[in-house]
Structure 1
Amino acid sequence: MEVKDSNGNILSDGDSVTVIKDLKVRGSSDVIKRGTMVKNIRLTDDPAEIDCRVNKTAMVLRTEFVKKA
């Protein structure tokens, strides 16, 4: 299974990615700003999602909104 970012680059466990769009956090008033660096991602069973920690909060991001750093 290949997991690709918004530019088509292949992602793997432990990579760092950058958010390419302001994202509202569901169930909260927080916003993940464009340009936020997310380090040490983990791949999931779904090739369109990654697990990560943003500002010490665990969450799942869609790969269409990140690019490999």
Structure 2
Amino acid sequence: MSDDDYVYDEESGEWLSGTAIAARRQASEVVVRDSAGAVLADGDQVTLIKDLTVKGAGQTLKRGTVIKSIRLTGDTQEIDCRFEGISGLVLRAEFVRKR
């Protein structure tokens, strides 16, 4: 898409230029940072920096536990992940560090 192309934006109901669409997409992206300030992305591996008690599972995840293949939720502080025996695990980004 070049700068001269116009695209109909269904959200706003307006015709916008290619640069305006690119700027809007870039502004809407959420940046999630770990406890050390590193930017997290889908599929990253993280390590827990603190023992965490998982509510409803009766289990504690120990410090140093590796969580593989995280997914960003759209919230700047929450990441979705899987761990053996725990379904629907959501961790706060402040308790993890990128590997």
Same fold judged by TM-score > 0.5? yes
* Residue identity in the other structure for 1:42: R
Superposed, 1:1-69 pairs within 5 Å as 1-58=30-87, 59-69=89-99
Q: Per-residue CA shift, 1:7-38, capped at 9, x if unaligned?
A: 00000000000000000011232000100000
Runs of 4+ aligned residues of structure 1 deviating over 6 Å after TM superposition are: none
Q: Which has the larger radius of gyration?
A: 2
* Residue identity in the other structure for 2:34: D
Distance 1:9 1:68 in 2: 7
Q: Percent identity?
A: 55
Cα displacement (A) at 1:46? 0.8
Aligned length: 69
Cα RMSD, aligned residues only = 1.0
Show structure 1 runs of 5+ residues with no match: none
Distance 1:29 1:51 in 2: 19
- TM-score (normalizing by structure 1): 0.94
| Greater relative contact order structure (CA < 8 Å, 6+ sep) | 1
